[in-house]
Amino acid sequence: MNDIIFSNRRQASRFSVKIQGKISIFDKDTLLGSEKIEIVDISYAGIHVNFSNNDFLYHYLNCVDNENLKVLIEFNFYEEEYKFENNIIWINIEDVGEKYFLVHSGLGFKIESKEYFKDKHLDLIVSQYMENSIK
């Protein structure tokens, strides 16, 4: 299981990757909604993204423990397409004050995409840290 963090407040550091992407929610093959995201950080432990649509958050919260609902995270990094499909296992909302919050959630990657995830994730992390070491 990997962790994904959503925040409605812009966060960045000198190691931020700032990749533009998209997150989509599907009920089997039917698209329920999608939202543009900014990927702030990605590692073996998980992914940290920002988005600004609270209505989309309600759809996302509805995905917990629902086997029929899938979440697809996709983005382009160094002209390589990345797509990760997963189920949401748990969600925790953390209030950080003054209308800001963080949503932590655990993702279970689909069994058939685990090898794909390992290969793509390793490439992505190596590319990210090579880019950050040049800055």
CATH number of the domain encompassing residue 76: 2.40.10
Number of domains in the chain: 1
Structure confidence at residue 22 (pLDDT) = 93
Which residue is associated with the tokens 């919050």? 101
* Residue range of the domain that includes 56: 2-134
pLDDT in tens, the chain (135 residues): 445 555 544 444 555 667 899 999 888 889 988 999 888 777 656 677 777 777 777 777 777 767 788 888 888 877 878 888 877 777 777 777 766 777 777 776 665 555 665 666 666 666 666 666 555
Q: How far apart are CA 30 and CA 25, in angstroms?
A: 9
Residues 80-98 have pLDDT tens digits of 788 888 777 777 777 777 6
Q: How far apart are CA 62 and CA 47, in angstroms?
A: 20
Structure confidence at residue 87 (pLDDT) = 78
Plot region of 62 (φ>0 → left; ψ -120 to 50 → alpha; else → beta): alpha
